[in-house]
């Protein structure tokens, strides 16, 4: 892991903890951003952790850029040695896979796709060596996923599959980004999954939709008073549902009676690395009781 520091103009410092994605890089980035927050450095205005990197926005009229960069570098050794354990929560996301809305959208943008004759699910199943779409969906929904970044647009989680690297789903992004993606699409690009919080442009392959809003600018939905649900470090679990449950969930959300399933859990990177299957079993047990 080689950490690289760069100025993003005169108001940002960009720190790439590692060129490639790993949970080790995420935890080091998280430790460093926590250290920056706890240091309460005057002039630091935004602290943004990402998958394997992070970004600090600052006011150069308050703190000299080089002085801030030196201070950040000083946090690195301690971050590397820090315990890679967090108190977090696991959140269940019901998903209607192969739904009519993403299907309609992907057909509209077929000429921007690697394989215009297949759906995104068929393509993703094939390039990841699954015999069919059903077994691909089963794998996608079987393991928990780790929220390693929130961003792109409001409240959108980037998710990292909690399985050994050789089992992780990987798919290229669209050849050219779409100009439209249905709200609450479950997407995937590179090794990352995501949930599109709003309708808009996107380049990730589309697998399904969740009926459960994750961002509410009006703050009216009962569990979205803080406008969005996800924070970096959250763990989520997809649960395949049928159209009937999808419609019932949409109705329950409108009626204000839907309560998302959220359970507090600890997560230790060392425990996960030593025994991914056992760690996941414990996470799912916490969720499903």
Partner 1 sequence: MAERSFEVVKPGLATTVQDLGRPGYYHLGLPLSGAMDRFALIAANRLVGNPDGAAGLEAVFLGPELRFSADALVAITGAELPPKLDGVEQPLWTAFKVAAGQVLSFAFLKGGARAYIAINGGVDVPEVLGSRSTYALGALGGFEGRALKAGDVVPLGAPTTAGGEGKTLPPDGRRPAQESGVEIRVLPGLYWHRITEEAQAGFFEDTWKVAPEADRIGYRFRGGKKLDFVPRQQPFGAGSDPSNIVDSCYPYGSIQVPGGTEPIVLHRDAVSGGGYFMIGTVISADMDLIGQLQPHQPVRFQSVTLEDALTARAVETARLARLGELI
Complete DSSP assignment for 179-211: S---TTEEEEEBTEEEE-SSSS-B-SEEEEE-S
Question: 189, 208, 211, 213: which one contacts partner 1 (CB under 8 A)?
Answer: 189
Nearest distance, CB of residue 197 and partner 1, angstroms? 7
Give yes or no for residue 158 binding partner 1 (CB under 8 A).
yes
Shortest distance (Å) from residue 46 CB to partner 1: 5
36: contact with partner 1 by CB under 8 A? no
Q: What residues pair up with 195 in beta bridges, in sequence order?
A: 186
- Give the nearer residue to partner 1 in terms of CB position, either 164 or 285: 164
Which residues lie across from 240 on neighbouring strands? 95
- Span 53-112, contacts to partner 1 by CB under 8 A: 53-55, 57, 60-61, 65-66
Among 225, 152, 162, which Cα is nearest to 194's? 152
Q: Are 150 and 230 in contact (CB under 8 A)?
A: yes
* The one among 112, 163, 200, 261 contacting partner 1 by CB under 8 A: 200
Of residues 6 and 288, the one with the C-beta less far from partner 1: 6
Which residue reads 């998280």 in tokens? Answer: 30
CB of 129 to partner 1, least distance (A): 17
- Using the rule CB under 8 A, is 119 a contact of partner 1? no
Q: Whole-angstrom Cα distance, residue 236 to residue 161? A: 10
| CB of 89 vs partner 1, minimal distance in Å | 16
Binding residues for partner 1, how many (CB under 8 A)?
Answer: 58
CB of 32 to partner 1, least distance (A): 13
For residue 188, the cross-strand partners are 193, 205
- By beta-carbon proximity to partner 1, the closer residue of 96 and 229 is 229
Tokens at 225, concatenated: 């008073």
Show the tokens assigned to 210. Answer: 């969740």
For 100-115, give the DSSP string: HHHHHHHHHTGGGSS-
Q: What is the DSSP letter of 99?
A: -
Helix (H) or strand (E) holding 152: none
- Per CB under 8 A, 115 contacts partner 1: no
Interface region with partner 1, contact rule CB under 8 A, candidates 75-83, 133-141, 228-236, 267-275: 228-236
Q: Is 143 in the site for partner 1 (CB under 8 A)?
A: no
* φ/ψ bin of 150: left (φ > 0), alpha (ψ from -120 to 50), beta (otherwise): beta
Interaction site with partner 1 (CB under 8 A): 6-12, 14, 16, 18-22, 45-55, 57, 60-61, 65-66, 149-156, 158, 165, 170, 172-173, 177, 189-192, 197-198, 200, 203, 215, 217, 227-228, 231-232
């Amino acid at each position: 892991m080689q950490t690289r520091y760069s100025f993003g103009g005169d108001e940002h410092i960009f720190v790439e903890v590692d060129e490639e994605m790993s949970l080790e890089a995420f935890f080091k980035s998280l430790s460093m951003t926590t250290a920056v927050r706890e240091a309460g450095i005057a002039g630091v205005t935004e602290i943004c952790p990402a998958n394997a990197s992070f970004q600090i926005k600052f006011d150069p009229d308050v703190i000299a850029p080089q002085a801030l960069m030196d201070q950040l570098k000083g946090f690195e050794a301690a971050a590397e040695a820090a315990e890679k354990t967090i108190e977090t929560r696991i959140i269940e996301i019901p998903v209607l896979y192969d739904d009519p809305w993403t299907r309609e959208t992907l057909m509209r943008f077929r000429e921007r796709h690697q394989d215009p004759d297949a759906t995104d699910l068929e393509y993703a199943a094939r390039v990841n060596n699954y015999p069919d779409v059903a077994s691909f969906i089963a794998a996608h929904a079987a393991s928990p996923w780790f929220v390693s970044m929130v961003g792109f647009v409001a409240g959108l989680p980037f998710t990292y599959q909690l399985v050994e690297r050789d089992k992780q789903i990987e798919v290229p992004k669209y050849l050219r980004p779409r100009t439209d993606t249905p709200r609450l699409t479950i997407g995937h690009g590179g090794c990352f999954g995501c949930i599109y919080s709003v309708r808009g442009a996107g380049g990730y392959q589309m697998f399904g939709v969740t009926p459960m809003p994750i961002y509410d600018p009006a703050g009216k939905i009962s569990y979205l008073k803080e406008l969005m649900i996800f924070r970096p470090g959250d763990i989520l679990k997809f649960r395949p549902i049928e159209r009937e449950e999808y419609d019932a969930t949409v109705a329950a959300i409108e009626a204000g009676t839907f309560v998302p399933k959220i359970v507090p859990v600890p997560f230790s990177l060392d425990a996960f690395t030593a025994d991914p299957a056992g760690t996941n079993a414990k996470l799912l047990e916490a969720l499903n009781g």
